[in-house]
Amino acid sequence: MAETMAIQTDGLQKYFGDVKAVDGVSISASKGKVVALLGPNGAGKTTIINLLTTQLIQDSGRATVMGFNTVESPKDVRRRLGITFQETSVDPALTGVQVLHFSGELYGMKRRERKVRATELLEMVGLTDAAKRKTKTYSGGMKRRLELARSLMNTPDVLVLDEPTLGLDPQTRAKIWEYITRLKEEFGMTLLLTTHYMDEAEQLSDHVYIIDHGKIVREGRADELIRDLGDDTVRLQGTGDISSFVKELEKLAYIQSVHSSGGESMHLGVDSGQKRVPGILALAASCGFTISEVAIDRPNLGDVFFGVTGREIQE
Ligand SMILES: Nc1ncnc2c1ncn2[C@@H]1O[C@H](COP(=O)(O)OP(=O)(O)O)[C@@H](O)[C@H]1O
Ligand SMILES: [Mg+2]
């Protein structure tokens, strides 16, 4: 028999009226892995999280957390989960340490156990000095770190983070990345995170599911998905006869992948951007495609998203 997955969903569907927010999503996370759901706003990431964390019930399909079915055994599921929500939700009238104690009480933790754990976690997220201040005096980054600590109070098997770094300054963002890596490496925790930042999914995850309009459109290890595109990416904007330009490009040995959309943007995988751009520009001109913008870069998950959907992820 196969090992129990920390998270498993099969054909999960959730509609809001006519909106297919989650449209047949099957994902899994083995224990101790970091799995990312990457997609633009409105892709369905939060809805998947809400289904997994038993806050919503799906229209069809099934989901399990540590082997427990989310609909049949929601209490067992919740006991094994820590959650950090997309929207900040700490009580402004409580101090940092009170927020953690309150959460520990909800989980039925004894006072002494709560105290030890709260001290440990405040230390981890760098809030020891601010522990006795009301959270209404906290910055956005401090609130986020406190929420992370709160979601760890019950020592969950699985930690779910919905857009953990949304709107944070680069420094706090780096900190959150560091904690995520530590939780995985030191404690073997399973993490599911959602993000619309491709660098976040690329850096942190063992496995990424790229999601668009409620569907998984691509999945795999980030480095493998990226490598499939080629060595360099040349991103082009232009106008004119894109189809004959594409046809000519595809004949060239040094072109490793060609993706285009809307008749105006293209992402090309090439062996060397620096070396090939002059030839590409000349070819475009001869095909009647006028280029207005060129950028050479290493390929990233944004290019993977563009390759499948024909759209940029950040729009
Ligand atoms: N409670 C709701 N009622 C109606 N529509 C919703 C609700 N929650 C989400 N949606 C819609 O479902 C889709 C997916 O939303 P969401 O899961 O929040 O996406 P993401 O987290 O990827 O930005 C969007 O079109 C959104 O407007
Ligand atoms: Mg969301």
Domain residue spans of the chain:
7-224, 230-298
Residue 78: partners with Cβ closer than 8 Å, 6 or more residues away: 53, 54
Q: Which residues pair with 209 in a beta bridge?
A: 37, 219
What is the Å distance from ligand 1's center to 37 Cα? 15
Could you tell me which residues come within 8 angstroms of residue 126 by beta carbon, excluding any fewer than 6 positions away? 145, 175
Residue 2: its pLDDT value, please? 63
From 151, 153, 154, 120, select the one nearest 164 (Cα to Cα): 151
CB atoms within 10 A of CB 30: 15
10-residue mean pLDDT series, the chain (315 residues): 86 97 98 97 97 97 98 96 89 96 93 96 96 96 94 95 92 93 94 96 97 98 96 95 93 95 90 96 95 96 95 82
pLDDT for position 3: 74
For position 261, what pLDDT does the model report? Answer: 87
Closest ligand (CA of 163): 2
Q: To test the ligand 1 pocket, which listed residue (37, 45, 47) has its Cβ within 8 A of the most ligand atoms? A: 47
Place of tokens 């090439």: 270
> Quick one: 57 exposed, middle or buried, by C-beta within 10 A (0-12, 13-18, 19+)?
exposed
Q: How far apart are CA 215 and CA 12, in angstroms?
A: 10
Gap between the Cα atoms of 128 and 304, Å rounded: 41
- Tell me, which fold does domain 230-298 have in CATH? Alpha-Beta Plaits (3.30.70)
**pTM as predicted:** 0.94
pLDDT digits (tens, 9 = 90+) for 188-247: 999 999 999 999 999 999 999 999 999 999 999 999 999 999 999 999 999 998 999 999
Token pair for 283: 């070819």
Distance from the CA of 162 to the center of ligand 1, in angstroms? Answer: 13
CATH superfamily of the 7-224 domain: P-loop containing nucleotide triphosphate hydrolases (3.40.50.300)
Ligand 1 centroid vs 44 CA: distance in angstroms? 6
N-term to C-term CA, the chain: 43
